[in-house]
Each structure stands twice: as C-alpha cells, then as structure tokens.
Amino acid sequence: MNVRIGYSIVLVLLSAHSLLGQQDAQYTQYMYNTVSVNPAYAGSRGYFSLTGLYRSQWAGFDGAPETQTLTMNTPVAKNVGLGVSIVNDKIGPSNETYLFADFAYSLRLNQDFQLNLGLKAGGSLLDVDFSRLEGVDVDPKFQNNIDNRFSPNIGVGFYVHSDKAYVGLSVPNLLETKHFDEGIFVEGEAVSLLAEERANLYLIGGYVFDVNYFTKVKPTILVKTVQGAPLQVDLSVNVLFSEKFRAGLAYRWGNALSGLVGFQLNDSLLIGYAYDAELSTLGGSNSGSHEFFIRFELFRSTGNSLSPRFF
C-alpha cells in the first residue's frame, strides 16, 4: 500500500466517524442473508438452508472492505429454529471475524401470519496491523498491533411473516465495545483513530406480488441505523420468472445503484450476483462493488413438486 492510498483510506474511513470496526458488514443481497442480522429468521423457511456470500467493495481501491459470510439455519422442532453465522470482514489494516449462534421460537398469530422471536450470542476476534497505515504517523505509544482481541456480544430480533409478506426488527449486537481510541497525524494534522462496536438497528420488510402464473415481483426495504453514522436505506425490486431466473434493481440512498441476478439451478441450489455502481464522491476512485452468493437447501418431503419461497 503506497502513501497516497494509505492516506485515502484514512480519510474515507474517518468520514464514517470510525476507522476500524466501525459498522456491521454491508450487503446488497441482504434478502438472502437475513439470519446474519436477525436471529428470528432462523428456521423460518421450513428447511435446512446453507448460504455463502462474498463481497468486494470499491474494487480497485487498495485496502477497501472485503467480506466473506457463511450462514446456516434450520428448523429443529415444530416451533424452534437454530442458526450459525460466520462473518470475516477486512477493512484496511483490520481483520475482524464474527461467530454467532442463533435461536428462534415461532408463534402462530393467525391463519396467515407467524411471529418468530430470536436470540443471538457469540463474539468477534479483531486483528489490526498498524504497519499497513503507510503515510500516517501513529503516536509511538499506540503502535502495538492488536492480535485476536475477543469481544463477546448478544443480539435480539423479531420476524413476522406469511407466505407473501414479511417484516423484521433486530439489533444483532447489543453490547457496545471500544477497542481503542488513538491519536494519529495525517499530513501533520492530528486526528482520532477510533475502533468500536456500536449497536446497529435493522428494519426489514418485503412483499411478493403474483403478476401471473410465471412471474412474481418482490419489493423490499432495509433500514439500518447506528449512532454516529448516517441513516442507511436500501430499496430493491426483484422479479422471479418461472421459479428459476431472478433479476432486480437496488438503490442505496445517496450511495449506490445496483443490479442483481440469480438462477435456481435446481430445487436445492441458488446462485446470484450483484454489482454496485458508486454514486458518492468515491465513484471516481474505484470500479464498483461485486457480490456473489450461493445457497444450498434441503427440502422436507411433501410428495409434491417443490416451489422455494421467494424470501
């Protein structure tokens, strides 16, 4: 990493009020990764679901965020679902790995809707290599790297859904943890280098419209808020054709416009890709963001043809 790039990373990440460990990982295809932010989703699809997701943000920008996610969730009893989430998030000189277990309990509200209540528990391991911050002078008393610093956390959520609609509210990290608050000098100016975990609140919702026998349309929304950062609003519309091909558009308010595609290879295997075109001032310094996912599911035997749920 050269001096110019190191300096740019500091300015970009400081603009979000925190250099390292600032936010939960960001996803464009959040609708396929719900259990990582809302434990109440665990088991709600009615069958075993395993999802892997890779995101490369701001491609071509050295030190930009890169995220790998692996989630599993399944029903284990009539009203109980379990899940596991593993997330590895890299930003500049930091690398943080999260491991969480999820528990969900479901209650039937009426003939159409079901309420799931969820708990999440686990923690994260943080590594920071300050030597990667070339071009930045770190106060000598703060130059010791951070190796495998563990921070426990818990989360809660609820999720209400029918066969066509859903809404959820969750806080996956209730405990706020400050890793460090240090002084650095960028081109002779003193700035604060802050790394902390803050509680992120997620609101999600969506509805599936049956246009005709072959076509379904699903608008969705994700609202994410955290103290010290701007409100994030993601809007998307996805279309499902013949239960096989998916295509959609997404808009992250003031930040990015995205295209999404997916293909159901068979009853159990779904693959997808999303591309984000940056609309902020960072757009000229990178070639966009790329996101890939694959989902494998084992269905319960019903004796009928399978029609995987569209959320």
CB neighbour list of residue 252: distance below 8 Å, 6 or more residues apart? 28, 232, 233, 234, 258, 276
DSSP per-residue string spanning 216-274? EEEEEEEEEE-TTS--EEEEEEEEEETTTEEEEEEEETTTEEEEEEEEE-SSSEEEEEE
Residue 275: name the closest of 297, 250, 295, 246 by CA: 250
DSSP per-residue string spanning 170-190? EES--S-EEEEEEEEEETTEE
Of 87-91, 134-138, 210-214, where does mean pLDDT reach its minimum? Answer: 134-138
- Provide the percentage of residues in the chain whose pLDDT is more than 70: 77
Of the pLDDT bands very low, low, confident and very high (cuts 50, 70, 90), residue 20 is very low
Higher local confidence (pLDDT), 165 or 178:
165
Q: What's the pTM?
A: 0.84
Superfamily assignment of 3-298 in CATH? monomeric porin ompg (2.40.160.40)
Higher local confidence (pLDDT), 309 or 142:
309
- The whole-chain average pLDDT of the chain stands at 83
**pLDDT > 70? residue 162:** yes
Question: What are the domain boundaries of the chain?
Answer: 3-298
Of 139-148, 206-215, 286-295, where does mean pLDDT reach its minimum? Answer: 139-148
Question: Which of 3-7, 134-138, 149-153, 304-308 has maximum average pLDDT?
Answer: 149-153
User: Mean pLDDT, to the nearest integer, of 152-173?
Assistant: 95
- Phi and psi angles of residue 293, each rounded to the nearest 5 degrees, phi first: -145, 155
- What is residue 101's predicted lDDT score, i.e. its pLDDT? 98
pLDDT in tens, 23-42: 677 899 998 889 999 999 99
Of 85-89, 95-99, 179-183, where does mean pLDDT reach its minimum? Answer: 179-183
Contact yes or no for 152/197 (Cβ under 8 A): no
**pLDDT > 80? residue 183:** no
